Structure 1
Amino acid sequence: MQDNYNKKELKVSALENGTVIDHIPQGVVLQVLRALQLEDFNDAIYMGSNLDSHKMGKKGIIKVSNKFFEKDDINKIALIAPSATIIEIKNYEIIRKTKVELPDEVIGLVKCINPKCITNNEKITTKFIVQNDLEEVKFSCYYCEKTMRKEDLEFL
């Protein structure tokens, strides 16, 4: 039997069909998994964290078999990991590769952290204005004007 532990690189199976979320900032891979509600997904999910990256120093990656994400899910990824790239694969071939973009508004995806906000007390869809400055992304509630940081996000 060959000793595979002496190899410098271990490889994960290529996806036949599915999505790769690449260039996830260090430390937020699990947050992306939770936001996408992949905990109970029945197909294979490959996850890597603190991987070496020429561009980022360290990065994370998630490979999800047989899953293609809708716009709301891609917006969730952008809110948590604005540097992420979405790679869609069919029959082992890359069919689309796009960098996520922060939306100008986030509607119905995130809960306001202000307990007195009308969206927490009545059946009103949440709405946030995305403020993207160079240092950090912030989210301002349209109704109560409470400002939240990425760390405050609680997805609905």
Structure 2
Amino acid sequence: MNENNKKKLKLKVSAIKDGTVIDHIPAKNLFKVITILGLDKIDNQITFGTNLDSKKLGAKAIIKVSDLFFEDNEINKIALIAPHAKLNIIRDYEVVEKKIVATPEKIVGIVKCFNPKCITNNEKITTCFKVISKEPIALKCKYCEKITSDDEIVML
């Protein structure tokens, strides 16, 4: 099949009138992003695709959420699992703003401590981590001082 025919076969996903598009998510982390943003608990129209071709990531995922706009602190949570993600803010079918995620300096209440003996895993205490490395992600627990690396991150 020649290149022109391949281009004609690409499927189009319908545009959203208003909302947010999250692009450049590593394919393996799509459902983590959905969970961390609570998208699995809302009634808005959500379209997602995974294992899409990406020159940067090899395989990427994308999420389109109608009628929802995220606060900066929510956007920055994405950086824990998709540090190269980009957000497009859509209004009246047009991209009106582009945002790049940034890893926050402190992570509170969204990640479980890797240390099973940590007080946060045994009592009702909110987790709190200092980000000691942004790429790859490494988090130092405020209470037990153990380091949770990116491959050990478990969302609460």
TM-score (norm 2): 0.85
Q: CA deviation at 1:147?
A: 1.2
Work out the CA distance in 2 between the residues paired with 1:100 and 1:27. 18
What pairs with 1:51-130 in structure 2 (closer than 5 Å)?
51-130=52-131
Work out the CA distance in 2 between the residues paired with 1:151 and 1:86. 24
Would you say how many aligned residue pairs link Structure 1 and Structure 2? 150
Residue deviations 1:120-148 (CA, integer Å, cap 9, x gap): 344433211112265x2111101101111
Alignment-derived partner of residue 150 in structure 1:
150
* Secondary structure at the counterpart of residue 14 of structure 1: coil
Work out the CA distance in 2 between the residues paired with 1:34 and 1:53. 23
Work out the CA distance in 1 between the residues paired with 2:109 and 2:61. 27
What pairs with 1:22-61 in structure 2 (closer than 5 Å)?
22-61=23-62
Runs of 5+ in structure 2 lacking a partner?
Answer: 1-6
Residues 26 and 59 of structure 1 are in contact (CA less than 8 Å); yes or no, is this contact kept in structure 2?
yes
Work out the CA distance in 2 between the residues paired with 1:55 and 1:114. 33
* Secondary structure at the counterpart of residue 15 of structure 1: coil
Work out the CA distance in 1 between the residues paired with 2:134 and 2:98. 25
Q: CA deviation at 1:118?
A: 2.4
Letter in 1 for 2:142: Y
- Residue identity (%): 50
Alignment-derived partner of residue 3 in structure 2:
none
Q: CA deviation at 1:38?
A: 1.4
**Which has more helix, going by share of residues?**
2
Work out the CA distance in 2 between the residues paired with 1:67 and 1:151. 29
- Between 50-59 and 39-48, report the one with greater CA deviation: 50-59
Work out the CA distance in 1 between the residues paired with 2:19 and 2:83. 21
* Secondary structure at the counterpart of residue 97 of structure 1: strand
**What is the RMSD computed on CA atoms of the aligned residues?**
2.0
Gap change, CA 1:53 and 1:125, over 3 Å in 2: same
Runs of 5+ in structure 1 lacking a partner?
Answer: 1-5
Residue deviations 1:31-52 (CA, integer Å, cap 9, x gap): 1112222123212111111111
Q: CA deviation at 1:78?
A: 0.8
Alignment-derived partner of residue 3 in structure 1:
none
Residues 72 and 109 of structure 1 are in contact (CA less than 8 Å); yes or no, is this contact kept in structure 2?
no
